[in-house]
Amino acid sequence: MDLKLHVDFCFSCPGGRVVAAGWSQDPRPALMIHAGSASLPPAHLVRFARRDLRSLEPFGYLAVFDLSDHPDALDDPSEDVFLAVGAEHSRIGGARLSSDARSMVEIGVDEAFFALLRLMAEGAVPMPDRALSGPVITRIRAARALPAEAETHALSVDLGQVAGAGQGVASGWFLPTAATQGALHALAFDDRQLARVTMAQGAVARTDLAAYADRYVYGGRDGWLAAFRFAGPASGAARLLVMLPEQLAESGVIHPLTQVTVPQIARLLVEARLWQEDPEGADALHRATLAAPGAPAIALPDSPPLPDDAPLLLILDHDLAAPDLRDVLRRVAQATGRGIDLHLLRPTLTPDLRDAIAGAARECPQPVRIVACTPQPPIAAQGPALLVYARSSVLFHLAGRLPVRGEVPGHDLQVLALDVLASLPGGAGRIAARFGTDRPAFLCWGDAAGLLPALAPLLGDALVPESAFRQLAAQMDAAGRLAILPADPTGFHAGDQGPFAAPLFDSLTGHDFDALSARLVQEDAR
């Protein structure tokens, strides 16, 4: 019997991984890699039949060697590495380690290519870089896809969604035959990028599938959930590739992803959390949709001191009834003696809100004008202004604590927090610790020219703009650039109106979802 080791492709990946693909008639080849002073067996070995060998025997192999603990093993590109089975060695030139990845993607057999994709999906091999992603996507699209239902399986993608920023979710169900072994794997792709998909298989009860029990293996919890995040905004037609176990000759089941808003993605994640019995599995799905940890550094541009008569740029989440806006604006104007440029965090300016603003403008000696009505704060100041962010319910309670005309803030950002901790020793410090992962009632103020550019990068995935202000406050507190002024919460009642008070699902709001996202990001950053 020919026991020779055939190495078709061998290439290195970031993180010290080396991937080898080829074939051998040895049913259990004792593969080893020799690189520098390292000699290691494969961390992952996949065996499979190859149609080009005209045999049903699993002669094909894909091996992954983990050299991450030997950082110098691949440092010198002029040094060869060796793949070995017993005394037989195959020399791999250094040039192949950098070029064989593209060659395998373009001309390697389907079975090896889709075995590689599965290892990428489960994290054993890094995802391809931007240069290689295009050829991988082209190969996926050109390959033969699997039908959703066949003798060996039935798979459904009931829902597949992606938001413009790149986060996506999907759900469905899978029923294999008794002979099928292994787990589902999935990747998401669009016109230019790939994303690893986190899957929770068997996570959802699907008693409605009992009628399939005479044809497939029915377990009762055959529903699956999936989540992912593209590195950049979704581009072109996005697709979900679900790769079935033991089906390496075809790409898998491909399903189009519908583009939706970020709140719709959040809603499905909240529902998925309620469907699952495993909290850690729910956290894993949520994490898969979040941007990589690593908050942007705070960079406040130099700006001249605010003039004494600088207007107040009020970024307002009006969480009370529309007519109450008139009283809120009037109270702020009277308490501060400043003119008000109002940025209302609402999608539209309704007649009731317009009338309330007009009423306040008539009654206040200082100018009161609406400068914008959008759900997102501005990204830059149009002129010198004292930025104030608040919910109306908080502002109605604490307007008298804002800086008056002629008073210039002494810190980059000042926060007035309504919290029961305020009356306790060290209360301000405890409130600061909660800003990243909770939602204490607060209002904040500072120089608009410096704060708005620092705020803009934090708005990204936030469902509620207040979450970005909380994150900015937490970062500036860590940098020693924040003053927290505790305030007695007696008599405070949070508002329950406006777009950000609406629940995503049950009683969970966008505030709660953002707080959970912040907690998961903080855990990953530790």
Residues 6+ apart with CB under 8 A from 520: 283, 286, 287, 290
Beta bridge partners of 199: 226
Element (H, E) at 195: strand 194-204
- The answer to the question of residue 220 being in a domain is yes
Does a structural domain hold residue 272?
no
Q: What averages of pLDDT result for each successive group of 10 residues across the chain (526 residues)?
A: 76 91 82 86 92 87 91 74 82 86 94 96 94 95 94 94 94 90 93 95 93 93 95 91 92 95 92 84 93 68 79 95 95 93 95 96 93 93 91 89 83 80 65 72 89 86 90 82 79 86 84 88 75
- CATH at residue 175: 2.60.40.10
In-domain check, residue 290 = no
Both tokens of 157, joined, read 């993608």
Check whether residue 232 and residue 331 sit in a common domain.
Answer: no
pLDDT of residue 373: 96
pLDDT at 489: 76
Helix (H, G, I), strand (E, B) or coil at 134: helix
Residue 175 and residue 217 in one domain: yes
Residue 382 has what pLDDT? 85
* Same-domain check for residues 192 and 226: yes
Pair (152, 121) in one structural domain:
no
**Residue 179 and residue 253 in one domain:** yes
Residue 496 included in any domain: yes
What is the CATH classification number for the domain harbouring 506?
A: 3.90.550
Same domain, 147 and 112: no
The number of domains in the chain is 3
**Together in a domain, 418 and 471:** yes
- Flag whether 399 is in a domain: yes
Report which of 500, 376, 477, 382 is spatially closest to residue 430, judged by C-alpha positions: 477
Phi and psi at residue 418, in whole multiples of 5°?
-90, 110
Q: Is residue 17 part of a domain?
A: yes
Would you state the structure tokens that stand for residue 482, as one six-digit string?
């924040």
Residue 1: predicted pLDDT: 38
Looking at the structure, tell me whether residues 364 and 508 fall in a common domain.
yes
Q: Which of 92, 126, 160 is a domain's end point?
A: 126
Residue 293 lies in a domain: no
Check whether residue 316 and residue 414 sit in a common domain: yes
Judge whether 304 lies within some domain: no
Q: Which residue among 222, 247, 262 closes a domain? A: 262
Backbone angles phi, psi at 414, to 5 degrees: -120, 140
| Whether residues 102 and 227 fall in one domain | no
Residue where a domain terminates, one of 72, 91, 126: 126
Q: Are 62 and 18 in contact (CB under 8 A)?
A: no
Residue 354: domain span: 312-525
Q: Are residues 394 and 439 in the same domain?
A: yes
> Same domain, yes or no, for 257 and 368?
no
Rounded distance, CA 348 to CA 328, Å?
Answer: 19
DSSP-derived letter for residue 304 is: P
Strands (E), 108-178: 149-150, 153-163, 167-176
Neighbours of 207 (CB within 10 A): 9
CA-based diameter of the chain, in Å? Answer: 98
Secondary structure (3-state) at 346: coil
CATH of the domain at 92: 2.60.40
